[in-house]
Structure 1
Amino acid sequence: MAVEFFPYRFDKRFAAMWLPFGARPGRDGVHVGDDRLRATFGFLRLDTALDNVAGGHVTEGYRWWTAVGPRQSFADDGLTFGTNHDRGVCIHFHERVRATLSVRAHSALTVTVDDCDGLLDAIGRDEPPPPDGEA
């Protein structure tokens, strides 16, 4: 399998939130290859074995102030490489992964790529939770 590149969908209104980190349209995004997943956000990187990817799901409707730019979640150990506040993919890992300059390792990474469905096809989708009352 050749490396597939899923560029971010940059919303230029929020350039002040991603330009200082060196993130650039056409260069940064998620690279999925035979055995690696690598996400770049300017000088920030997250790299892991593809076997470590548990799957992902679409997330949407973010508040811009919590979604744009590189973000570590206060609610959990997730990391975001955000370039817009509309839609992205939350990628889950079996084992936590450390990103460049991260103080802690992360169990998930949210990325605001242009082709969310294509990225999910490349990495696999999360198993849906069982309906209420079933487990």
Structure 2
Amino acid sequence: MTGAATRFAFRFDPLFRPVLAVLGVRPATAWVVVTDRDLMIRYGPWRLRTDRDNVTAVELSGPYRWWRVIGPHLSLADGGASFGSSTAGGICLRFGSPVPAVVPGGRPRHPAATVTIADPPALARLLAVSDQS
């Protein structure tokens, strides 16, 4: 990790905190960090790390149905990873090169990751992909 880091906490719905804690997902173990070079997601024992330049698009999303977002998930529609702790909303990060995250061993690789952080618009602004030349 290089340069200044900006850390984003996950939003936790009180109803789901006990279940997520059993999985090792608590406010102290769930966050997104962005530096000038890296994007890192920690969600309890799950981790995702990629170059910041690998983020090709960001999309605010939600609200969600609880069974589609709470806990670690693999999307059957697009193969993306989801790390959810709230049904209120989150942000989907799309990658130029798919990255490992949900299953140990590096496979499958995910073309996107959705995280339910407390301030999705702030992360979207920080990672805004510019079309300017």
TM-score, normalised on structure 2? 0.88
Please give the root-mean-square deviation of Cα atoms over the aligned residues, in Å: 1.7
CA distance 1:99–1:119, change in 2 (3 Å) = same
Q: In 2, distance between residues paired with 1:117 and 1:93?
A: 18
* Cα displacement (A) at 1:16: 4.2
Query: Which residue type is aligned with residue 11 of structure 1?
Result: D
Q: Which residue of 1 aligns with 2:13?
A: 11
Aligned partners of 2:130 and 2:95: how far apart in 1? 11
Deviations 1:1-49 (A, max 9, x none): 5100010001120124422321111441110001000000001000000
Structure 2: unaligned runs, 5 residues or longer:
none
- Tell whether 2:112 aligns with 1:112: no
1:54–1:126 Cα contact (<8 Å) kept = no
Letter in 2 for 1:21: L
Residue 38 (structure 1) aligns with: 40
Identical residues among aligned pairs (%):
35
Distance 1:76 1:100 in 2: 14
Supply the AA of the counterpart residue of 1:119: L
TM alignment of 1:1-135, pairs within 5 A: 1-99=3-101, 101-102=103-104, 103-124=107-128
Question: Structure 1 stretches (4+) deviating beyond 4 angstroms?
Answer: none
For 1:126 and 1:59, locate their aligned partners in 2 and report how far apart those are by CA, in whole Å. Answer: 20
* Cα 1:125/1:117, change in 2 over 3 Å: farther
Worse overlay, 97-106 or 53-62 = 97-106
Letter in 2 for 1:117: P
Give the counterpart letter for 1:118 in structure 2: A
Structure 1: which 5+ runs fail to align? 128-135
Distance in 2 between residues matched to 1:125 and 1:16, nearest whole Å: 36
